[in-house]
Structure 1
Amino acid sequence: MSTVLSLVEKKLASLPLPVQVQLPNGEIAGAPSPRIKLIVRDNATLLNLANGQTGKLGEDYVEGRFDFEGPMRDLMLLASSILEGSPVDEARGNAFTRMVRHVISVVRHSKERDAKQIQFHYDISDDFYKLWLDERRVYSCAYYAQPDYTLSQAQEAKLDHICRKLRLHEGERFLDIGAGWGGLLLWAAENYGVDATGITLSRNQHAHVNRLIEEKGLSGRVRMTLLDYRELDETQPYDKIASVGMFEHVGRAQLQGYFAKLNRLLRPGGLILNHGITAGGVYNAEVGAGMGEFIEKYIFPGGELTHIGNELIQIADAGLEDLDVENLRPHYARTLWAWSDALEAQLDAARATLKGDNAERSLRAYRIYLAGCAMGFENAWIAIHQVLLQHKPTRGRSDELDEPADLSYPWRRSYIYKE
């Protein structure tokens, strides 16, 4: 105990904010006037603190092995400060380790496993998500087109940002893969007049969006289906396709097949917008220091990240061309802090929405998850990219024209960023 305590005291002395720790025996270590206080209940947690195991500390909190007093943002400052090195510096590994990772990725992403993994996360409680998301329940990175935007304004700006990139027009067949609670699907239908199809593996989201479609009188040209993307019908290609916050669930081993499927679902001259979280490191599939394991265990089982460089390779191998690539990393940090702040402001109400024996553990996990991801985006351990795609050009296209008849994409970007 004395060795662990000395390591903890050494760690506390190096931190950029005053921290106090109440030890399992009731003794107090650290700053007399702290910004954050940790109430630790076992020695293993002290060791994780001393060794900078941020992800394991997250698990310790979820399992009740420590509590804290003070702002969540200060807890995250503490978490980032105790790290030993960067959590995205991971060796490439040899041929055998790469093969093992590939096999694991294949096994963990069958259609049955993916459905269970999606339902584990998204079907926890609609009322819980409603508390801290915006009114449309858009559960993906917002776009702060103006610095003073509220979360709701920034989410609407994101929805329109995607629609403008895709150049949606009235009557076009639009597909939203992983349509969530219907924010983009309904925005595109109501503001751009498209014939819209959404798919999800979440039963709660499926029921919620179909209620909204009925209430809004959109049953004739908007539909939401409980369906795996691999089962989408390819006989009637879509004019425009969006996939927002979904390809993180696909698995690295399935990425080429995923983009090849999108290729086959797109009509000639159509556009695809893929919006998803990417790895900050070139080779890592998750954030290190135990943070990736925390998310796998408590939040997103089966989630796998890849670097934007690898994403672009898979896109090219699948027969698609990247037209525009935008990194929205700072926008997601701000979005996540908005979600975290909203959850922290109503913890009792959030607790009441969660049922069963694991309700308190779930709430603790989401508190750490939202704030921890905000920290991850702030530090560039993870990023998020919107990539606009089309079929690879073939010989004979009239690309010298600004508006060629066989393409949907003009040379210049002004149409995307124009207010």
Structure 2
Amino acid sequence: MNPLASLVQKKLDAIPVAVRLQMPDGQWLGPKDAQVEFVAKTNVALKNLAAGDIGKVGEDYVEGRVEINSSMRNLMAAATAMLPGNPVDAARQGAFTALIGRLVSVWRHSIERDAQQIEFHYDLSDDFYALWLDPRRVYSCAYYRDPGMSLDQAQEAKLDHICRKLRLKTGERFVDIGAGWGGLLLWAAENYGVDATGITLSKNQHAYVNKLIEQKGLSGRVRMELLDYRKLDTNEPFDKIASVGMFEHVGRAQLSQYFSRLRELLAPGGLVMNHGITAGGVDNAQLGHGMGDFIEKYIFPGGELVHIGHVLTDMANGGLESIDVENLRPHYARTLWAWSDALEANLDDAKEILSSERGQKALRAYRLYLAGCAAGFENGWIALYQVLGAHLPQSGRADELDHPDDLSYPWRRDYMYGA
């Protein structure tokens, strides 16, 4: 056995699920009844497998240099075991690297570039997303208030969880920044009676939601605009603001300005909910071993993560007080597995919808992305936080624990979880 084959064999033997590998020369390693099967078509792809460089293995799969036959759950068990170390530790930044990263972040998050990056991801195909999202097409972490909930039920629970945290009331001006396919926007309007505005940079989402608004007879009280959050009018502030699954696209160098903008858009006594993915490590902007690079190239160009500690610091620098912080990391792991299972169950339809060469590559990338992110949340490499914020208090009050009617936020959680 040649040295590279010997190295690969040792790697396979250490994996907790049975793995079979075909070498570029046709030689097979591993049992015939293996749960995971790799077919390496080039020596470079074989070296990436041997090194446990999961991001590059993923790229090899997308580009056709490796074939994979496996369920996504078995594949992720194998991939996690193949890693040479913790991907959080592998991506820690030194001071100089962080400085360069900050400069790059400033450059790549202009209004024009952000619009192009959002279009790349969200305008892939509405029909494709509909295959594996819930009927409301809520493309963010669900909330499994009851462990036995279906994905559809958990997404509705999430929408209501946000509305209850924001204490939405009839007639309030509400804006959903990065409104997606309108799940939260329409839920808030139909169940809480708010005057609702949604914004997106996706042309597909903009057209889809406006059609829903018209079909539901909500025109005049609900609107969806094709608009960057930086172009919202601060002269007409909102009583309540939600930003769900959007701030990951802002860029770490812009986060203080982002939260400052939300504060400018928030009326006195109002509340803002920021719901988004955060880094598992304090000093890394993405995952190591090529995993972050894979997501940047094939899924979310321009996406950047920061640790929750940095989020709270940037909120404070932006003039907002963090008044409730909740980690939904396990909820997102379950959500992503639900999405992954649904996509795997509809692969034939997905292949037909994404029939172009670019579409077929995108499908292979999404198969790895959904399952890989599920594993990432399971292992704590990434997390999901909801942070509720308000204007910093202008003067002290002695009665903040007494629930007076003029307080925007009661300083107990009973209202959030009570019947």
| Coarse TM-score class (shorter-chain normalised) | over 0.9
Q: In the alignment, is the contact (CA less than 8 A) between 1:58 and 1:294 conserved in 2?
A: yes
| 1:379 aligned residue | 379
Q: In the alignment, is the contact (CA less than 8 A) between 1:129 and 1:137 conserved in 2?
A: yes
| 1:235 aligned residue | 235
Per-residue displacement from partner, 1:68-91 (whole Å, max 9, x unpaired)?
222111011111000111000157
Q: In the alignment, is the contact (CA less than 8 A) between 2:91 and 2:288 conserved in 1?
A: no
The yes-or-no answer on 1:25 pairing with 2:25 is: yes
**Bigger Cα displacement from structure 2, 4-13 vs 206-215:** 4-13
Q: In the alignment, is the contact (CA less than 8 A) between 1:151 and 1:335 conserved in 2?
A: yes
The RMSD of aligned alpha carbons is: 1.3
Give the match's secondary structure for 1:187. Answer: helix
C-alpha distance 5-173 of structure 1, shift in aligned 2 (>3 A): same
Task: Give 1:250-269 correspondences, 5 Å limit.
Answer: 250-269=250-269
- Offset, 1:355: 4.5
**Bigger Cα displacement from structure 2, 144-153 vs 351-360:** 351-360
| 1:201 aligned residue | 201
Task: Give 1:329-344 correspondences, 5 Å limit.
Answer: 329-344=329-344
Partner Cα separation in structure 1 for residue 113 and residue 335 of structure 2: 29
Partner Cα separation in structure 1 for residue 274 and residue 296 of structure 2: 23
Partner Cα separation in structure 2 for residue 360 and residue 91 of structure 1: 30
- Offset, 1:405: 4.5
After TM superposition, where is structure 1 displaced by more than 4 Å over at least 4 residues in a row? Answer: 90-94
| 2:226 aligned residue | 226
How many residues of Structure 1 are paired with residues of Structure 2 in the alignment?
419
Identical residues among aligned pairs (%):
67
Partner Cα separation in structure 2 for residue 378 and residue 171 of structure 1: 40
| 1:88 aligned residue | 88
- Offset, 1:237: 0.9
Give the match's secondary structure for 2:352. Answer: helix
Task: Give 1:319-398 correspondences, 5 Å limit.
Answer: 319-398=319-398
C-alpha distance 399-31 of structure 1, shift in aligned 2 (>3 A): farther
Per-residue displacement from partner, 1:210-241 (whole Å, max 9, x unpaired)?
00000000001000000000000000111100
Q: In the alignment, is the contact (CA less than 8 A) between 1:397 and 1:406 conserved in 2?
A: no
| 1:160 aligned residue | 160
| 1:68 aligned residue | 68
- Offset, 1:188: 0.2
Letter in 1 for 2:269: G
Give the match's secondary structure for 1:138. Answer: coil
Task: Give 1:267-346 correspondences, 5 Å limit.
Answer: 267-346=267-346
- TM-score, length of structure 2 as denominator length: 0.98
C-alpha distance 95-37 of structure 1, shift in aligned 2 (>3 A): closer
Q: In the alignment, is the contact (CA less than 8 A) between 1:270 and 1:407 conserved in 2?
A: no
- Offset, 1:154: 0.3
Partner Cα separation in structure 2 for residue 92 and residue 366 of structure 1: 26
Give the match's secondary structure for 1:358. Answer: helix
Per-residue displacement from partner, 1:227-269 (whole Å, max 9, x unpaired)?
0000000001111000000000000000000000000111111
Give the match's secondary structure for 1:88. Answer: helix
Per-residue displacement from partner, 1:187-228 (whole Å, max 9, x unpaired)?
000000000000000000000000000000000100000000
| 2:53 aligned residue | 53
| 2:16 aligned residue | 16
Per-residue displacement from partner, 1:165-202 (whole Å, max 9, x unpaired)?
00001000001000000000000000000000000000
Task: Give 1:127-166 correspondences, 5 Å limit.
Answer: 127-166=127-166
Q: In the alignment, is the contact (CA less than 8 A) between 1:143 and 1:331 conserved in 2?
A: yes
Q: In the alignment, is the contact (CA less than 8 A) between 1:22 and 1:38 conserved in 2?
A: yes
Letter in 1 for 2:56: K
Unpaired stretches in structure 1, ≥5 consecutive residues: none
Per-residue displacement from partner, 1:355-400 (whole Å, max 9, x unpaired)?
5331211110110111111010111100000000001112144543
Q: In the alignment, is the contact (CA less than 8 A) between 1:315 and 1:321 conserved in 2?
A: yes
Partner Cα separation in structure 2 for residue 404 and residue 121 of structure 1: 45
Give the match's secondary structure for 2:273. Answer: strand
Unpaired stretches in structure 2, ≥5 consecutive residues: none
Partner Cα separation in structure 1 for residue 93 and residue 373 of structure 2: 26
Q: In the alignment, is the contact (CA less than 8 A) between 2:282 and 2:307 conserved in 1?
A: yes
- Offset, 1:418: 2.6
| 2:184 aligned residue | 184
